[in-house]
Structure 1
Amino acid sequence: MVDISEKREIPRLARAAGEIMLSRGTIEKIKTGTVEKGNVLATARVAAVLAVKKTPEIIPMCHQIPITAIDVDFEIGEEIISAVVEVRTVGKTGVEMEALTGVSAALLTIWDMVKSAEKDESGNYPNTSIQNIRVLEKLKG
């Protein structure tokens, strides 16, 4: 782990995003609230928040830092759901890993909640993919 003891505590922000590709039928079920497992986006939002808080337990070299705010937003398209997670802190190191972990957990939760609708006859997921997980913005100071 990198020694950050000499760094100053300053406000920091990171925004990360990613997408999940789904069939149009699954997107419609999410929009109408008819997914068997429940409210997909509400559950994915909670998963993102929990993942942000647990990042140092998942990513071995991440420091435990005080998280001061987490925002999770979704945008639904015809065959895609985009997730954006923004994380803020006042600390000695950035929060981009926390934002990336939050996005990843949100998208994985969506997949888990709709996997029965996405499976083909063989039990595979030919139209489902998670993609473009990336840091959109990182600010400090």
Structure 2
Amino acid sequence: MKKLTHFNEEGRAKMVDVSSKPDTVRTATAQSSIEVNEVIYEHIHANKIKKGDVLAVAQVAGIMAAKKTWDIIPMCHPIALQGIDISFEWEKATDESRLLKIMASVKTKGSTGVEMEALTAVSAAALTVYDMCKAIDKGMVIGPTFLIEKTGGTTSKDYQRK
């Protein structure tokens, strides 16, 4: 079992010291989704949501959230991100609903990974879709949210979701 590094000798939470780790190129890709009814799908698709272009706003929200991850997740380090890309893909979920898959890829060159930034990006994008469409239906379902892959670093191996 791998030893957890986020605890001090007293068993209390701490931010891990990464100052001795070398800078490497690190990437992470995460996914979330939100299931919406056909009315919401049609409104988004036709750009008829009164608050604006849902996918454009969700994309910007995801990018902003990735950049601010260290502000909202207590043990995350502030990271200079070199790239963030958010994409969307629609799928039929049921006869009455559609699934919006949200993917975020994040990249940096630094001493710690960007998994939390990718996960935060897709979470914020999904929450933004919910916020912009809740006037039509509050029954939307967010998730699952998960890490697809991560690369880089010297102490942990690359990860690929199976």
Same fold by TM-score greater than 0.5: yes
State which of 79, 83, 92 in structure 1 corresponds to 2:102.
83
Cα offset, 1:77, TM superposition: 2.3
Q: Greater Rg, structure 1 or structure 2?
A: 2
Separation of aligned partners in 1, 2:32 and 2:84: 16
Separation of aligned partners in 2, 1:97 and 1:36: 31
Matched pairs, number: 134
Q: Residue 145 of structure 2 aligns with which residue?
A: 133
**Bigger RCO of structures 1 and 2 (CA < 8 A, at least 6 apart):** 1
User: For residue 15 of structure 1, what is the amino acid of its counterpart?
Assistant: T
Superposition pairs of residues 116-131 of structure 1, within 5 angstroms: 116-119=135-138, 125=139, 128-131=140-143
Gaps of 5+ in 1: 120-124
- Alignment partner of 1:33 is 2:52: no
Separation of aligned partners in 2, 1:64 and 1:37: 31
Separation of aligned partners in 2, 1:65 and 1:33: 34
Cα offset, 1:63, TM superposition: 0.5
Aligned CA RMSD, in angstroms, stands at 0.9
Q: Residue 45 of structure 1 aligns with which residue?
A: 59
Separation of aligned partners in 1, 2:40 and 2:50: 11
- SS of the aligned residue for 2:116 comes to helix
Gaps of 5+ in 2: 1-14, 93-97, 154-162
Superposition pairs of residues 51-90 of structure 1, within 5 angstroms: 51-78=65-92, 79-90=98-109
Superposition pairs of residues 90-109 of structure 1, within 5 angstroms: 90-109=109-128
**TM-score normalised by length of structure 2:** 0.81
Deviation string for 1:5-58 (max 9, x for gaps)? 110000000000011010011101101111111100000000001000100000
User: For residue 34 of structure 2, what is the amino acid of its counterpart?
Assistant: I
Structure (1/2) with the larger helix percentage:
1
Superposition pairs of residues 18-29 of structure 1, within 5 angstroms: 18-29=32-43
Separation of aligned partners in 2, 1:4 and 1:58: 19
